[in-house]
Amino acid sequence: MTDAAPPEPAAAADNPFAVLLAVQDLDTSIAQHEHRKAALAERRELEALQARAAAIRRRVAELDGQRSEFGTRLSHLEEQTAAVVARRKALEDRLYGARGAAGRDLRAIESEVAQLVGRLHQLEDEELVVMEEQEPVDQEAERCAAELAELAEQSKQLAERVAEADVAIDAELSVLAGSRATEAARLPEALASRYETLRSRLAGIGAARIVDGRCGGCHLSLPSVELDRIKHLAPDAVVTCDQCGRILVRPSLAGGR
């Protein structure tokens, strides 16, 4: 499968197909650097720590909700206790000041005081139950807080290492991008446009060498008849792989790359 290349063939030193391979190699290197940056072990570890911290914070929110409920229950019990204590004191004060009151009235007051004492014991027992229920929740909350603090320190250290790695990789990417721009500027417009279209469709590989009779992009063997036909094409002919559609660069035009 052939198409006419730019009308004026370039000199050997400015062979557009050798330049195209240079651009492809730089694009491949850029993609590898970007993948290496995204797949840094430290970055994955940092993401795992952040996910763990997020899960713990969700658990802390649940625990805070439970602790709030315990606090509400204790406050309600304390209010009841305060009311019972106030009522008991008022009745006891009446007892002390009721020396001349009828025995029946005194017995009624004493009976209510006894009931209030029983109610106080009941409220104290209920408070103990709530506090016992709250204790393991408080302990878990403390463990979560300690783990979050440890994760924060680990995340800080990892984030610093990731930032250092990113700076180094970004510096390399900047150099590669500069070289890529320089090489791409040397490509004929039609060839560059075709390459970019193919590269966007074919996993970043728009051009490939012919290596040992195979397409360097899809790695499938080219028929011997096709190889012979390609060998006799004009140097400025654009060759594409019948299997994957990528631009194929013949060894004689690869510029020693």
Domain boundaries, the chain: 2-27+188-253, 41-182
pLDDT at 6: 36
Residues of the chain where predicted confidence (pLDDT) is lower than 70: 1-13, 98-103, 256-257
Fold of 41-182: Helix Hairpins (1.10.287)
Give the tokens for residue 53: 């911290």
Domain 2-27+188-253 and domain 41-182 have a common topology = yes
Task: Return the pLDDT at 92.
Answer: 86
For residues 60 and 119, give the distance between their C-alpha atoms in angstroms, rounded to a whole number. 35
pLDDT of residue 254: 83
**pLDDT confidence of residue 107:** 84
Phi, psi (5° rounding) for residue 231? Answer: -60, -30
Separation of alpha carbons 89 and 84, rounded Å: 9
Beta strands in the chain (DSSP E): 2-4, 207-211, 214-215, 237-240, 247-249
| CATH number assigned to the domain covering 2-27+188-253 | 1.10.287.1490
